[in-house]
């Protein structure tokens, strides 16, 4: 057994951390949010593409580095730590993974090289209303190769070029690729709780589509893609959680009250110890997910659920308690605690709520026990 990343992978992670510390400091994220910008940083996006990160796990035949998912997990952790305002998750974990998982040879050849270079921003459009994505909650309909319906919210939907859309064809859930700049697509950005990540309402009216996978396979594929994305997002969450703990610890050491550093008081110490404990559990669960993803193990769905549930719990706790440890300063715009507070919720919802994942996990355990 070797339950750790290799020296090379850790070196890549270290390099990514240094790169993002230089190119994506927190004040840049805050400034972007101030400016009422498109919710992403095009300059940083270009630099990320230049690093080759977009293609870390995309095979060389499609222009990627073909490294693997463990390397992608290392990058994800650092993007999460930096609260990077880029459509990385939408493009790489969802759009590219959907193609790798369900795309034909032609579709892969057509889209993946553009993902690698950063020319193509991709996303996934599944939800239409409040509540978990399910067959009953999908109204978008494809008929005669044309899609009609409304998707809300679509993360990065205002800046993406293409989306994988979950819709029904003859009542059967199916995935499609849609050119968001093509005819029959109207989109507008919506205000969200995490202003460093954009989202849109996208309306389709007889928009031409390209089918991804078989008719009727839509939900199964959607779940499989979500499993993969959940592991990668868990690494972003673990990176964010660790950063929150670091911020809280540093503040607790430098802030003095009643004659001593507040980090000397047990009310603060114990809170940080609890943060650390949750972060450790989340990291362990995320590592298992990484192993399952990278080796395409049959345990992947269970591992992904564990990674997601644990990471959602850790990041939420770390983010909210980081604000609390900072006291009044934590509630101000200038202190970066709110960046993580927002992002922790954005990541906890973008691949479906932890509540829903808990139900899924228990269903899988029931099936495993019965077997």
Partner 1 sequence: MDFNDTPEEAEYRAKVRAWLEENAPRGVKGASLGDEDESQMDACKAWQAKKAAAGYAQIRWPKEWGGGGGTTIQSVIFAQEESRMGVQLGGPFAIGLGMCIPTVMATADDETKKRFVGPAVGGETIWCQLSPDPAGGSDVAAIRTRAIKDESSVDENGDFDWVVNGQKIWTSGAHYADYGIVLVRTDPDAVKHKGLTMFWIDMKSPGVQCKTIHQMSGARGFNEVFFTDVRIKDSQRLGALHDGWNVSIITLMNERASVGGGGGARGGGAIKALQVAQKIRDENGDPLSNNSTVREKIAEHYVRAEGLRFTGMRSLTALSQGKTPGPEQSVTKLVQAAGMQDLAEFMVDLQDQAGIIRDPSLAVENADFQEMFLGSPGGRIAGGTDEILRNIIAERVLGLPGEIRVDKGVPFKDLPTGR
Q: Which residues bind partner 1 (CB under 8 A)?
A: 1-6, 70, 245, 249, 252-253, 260-261, 263-264, 266, 268-270, 272-274, 276-277, 280-285, 287-288, 290-291, 294-295, 297, 305-306, 309-310, 313, 355, 357-359, 361-362, 365-366, 369
Residue 334 and residue 338: Cα distance in Å, rounded? 9
Q: How far is the CB of 59 from partner 1 (least distance, A)?
A: 20
**Chain length of the chain:** 371
**Residue 198, number of CB atoms within 10 A of its CB:** 26
Computed from CA positions of residues 276, 279, 284, 285, in that sequence, does the dihedral angle turn out positive or negative? positive
Side-chain-facing half-sphere of 173: CA atoms under 13 Å: 18
Between 99 and 305, name the residue whose CB sits nearer to partner 1: 305
CB of 209 or CB of 300, closer to partner 1: 300
Say how far apart CA 325 and CA 268 lie, in whole Å.
Answer: 7
What string of DSSP letters covers 167-205?
EEETTEEEEEEEETTSTTEEEEEE--S-TTS-EEEEEEE
- The nearest distance, CB 127 to partner 1, in angstroms, is 20
Q: Which is nearer to partner 1, 22 or 370 (CB)?
A: 370
Q: Which is nearer to partner 1, 105 or 136 (CB)?
A: 136
Start-end of H helices in 295-332 = 300-325
Minimum distance, C-beta of residue 311 to partner 1, in the bound complex (Å)? 10
- Min CB(359)–partner 1 separation in Å: 6
- In the complex with partner 1, which residue's Cβ is closer, 305 or 337? 305
Angle (CA) 263 269 270, round 5°: 165
Q: Rounded to the nearest whole angstrom, what is the least distance from the CB of residue 358 to partner 1 in the complex?
A: 4
Q: Least separation, in Å, of the C-beta of 282 and partner 1?
A: 7
The distance of closest approach from Cβ of residue 285 to partner 1 in the complex, given in angstroms and rounded to an integer, is 5
Burial of 84 (0-12, 13-18, 19+ CB in 10 A): buried
The residue among 260 and 328 lying less far from partner 1, judged by its C-beta, is 260
- Rounded Cα gap, residues 72 and 237, in angstroms: 14
Angle at 222 between CA 163 and CA 280, to 5 degrees: 105
Indicate the residue among 302 and 323 with the shorter CB distance to partner 1. Answer: 302
* Six token digits for residue 179: 């050119």
Q: How far is the CB of 325 from partner 1 (least distance, A)?
A: 11
Report the SS3 class of residue 288. helix
Question: Helices (DSSP H) in 93-154: which residue ranges?
Answer: 97-102, 105-117
Task: Tell me the closest approach of the beta carbon of residue 184 to partner 1, in angstroms.
Answer: 39
Q: What are the angstrom distances between the C-alpha of 303 and each of 41, 219, 298?
A: 32, 19, 9
C-beta closer to partner 1: residue 111 or 291:
291
Nearer to partner 1, 164 or 244 (CB): 244
Provide the minimum distance between the beta carbon of 267 and partner 1 in the complex, in angstroms, as a whole number: 11
Residue 19 or 276: which CB sits closer to partner 1? 276
Q: How far apart are CA 340 and CA 47, in angstroms?
A: 23
Report the alpha-carbon distance of residue 137 to residue 7 in Å, rounded: 45
| Tokens (6 digits) for 267 | 């009310």
């Amino acid at each position: 057994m070797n339950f750790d990343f290799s020296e090379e992978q850790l070196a890549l992670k270290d390099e990514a951390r240094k790169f993002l510390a230089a190119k994506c400091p927190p004040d840049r994220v805050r400034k972007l949010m101030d400016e009422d910008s498109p919710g992403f940083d095009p300059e940083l996006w270009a630099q990320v593409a230049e690093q080759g990160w977009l293609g870390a796990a995309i095979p060389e035949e499609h222009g990627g580095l073909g490294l693997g998912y463990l390397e992608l997990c290392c990058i994800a952790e650092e993007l999460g730590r930096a609260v990077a305002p880029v459509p990385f998750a939408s493009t790489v974990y969802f759009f590219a993974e959907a193609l790798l998982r369900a795309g034909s040879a032609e579709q892969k050849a057509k889209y993946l090289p553009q993902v690698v270079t950063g020319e193509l921003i991709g996303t996934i459009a599944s939800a239409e209303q409040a509540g978990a994505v399910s067959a009953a909650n999908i109204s978008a309909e494809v008929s005669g190769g044309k899609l009609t319906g409304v998707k809300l919210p679509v993360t990065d939907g205002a800046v993406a070029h293409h989306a994988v859309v979950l819709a029904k064809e003859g009542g059967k859930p199916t995935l499609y690729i849609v050119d968001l700049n093509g005819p029959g697509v109207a989109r507008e950005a919506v205000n969200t709780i995490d202003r460093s990540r954009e989202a849109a309402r996208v309306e389709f009216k007889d928009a031409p589509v390209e089918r991804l996978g078989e008719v009727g396979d839509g939900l199964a594929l959607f779940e499989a893609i979500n499993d993969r994305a959940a592991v990668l997002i868990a690494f972003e969450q673990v990176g964010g959680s660790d950063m929150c703990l670091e911020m809280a610890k540093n503040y607790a050491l430098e802030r003095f009250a009643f004659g001593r550093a507040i980090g000397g008081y047990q009310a603060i110490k114990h809170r940080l110890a609890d943060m650390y404990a949750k972060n450790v559990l989340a990291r362990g669960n995320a590592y298992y997910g990484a192993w399952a993803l990278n080796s395409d193990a049959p345990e992947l769905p269970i591992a992904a659920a564990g990674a997601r549930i644990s990471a959602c719990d850790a990041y939420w706790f770390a983010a909210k308690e980081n604000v609390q440890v900072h006291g009044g300063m934590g509630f101000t715009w200038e202190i970066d605690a709110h960046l993580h507070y927002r992002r922790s919720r954005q990541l906890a919802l973008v691949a479906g709520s932890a509540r829903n994942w808990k139900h899924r996990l228990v269903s899988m355990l029931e099936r495993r026990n019965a077997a």
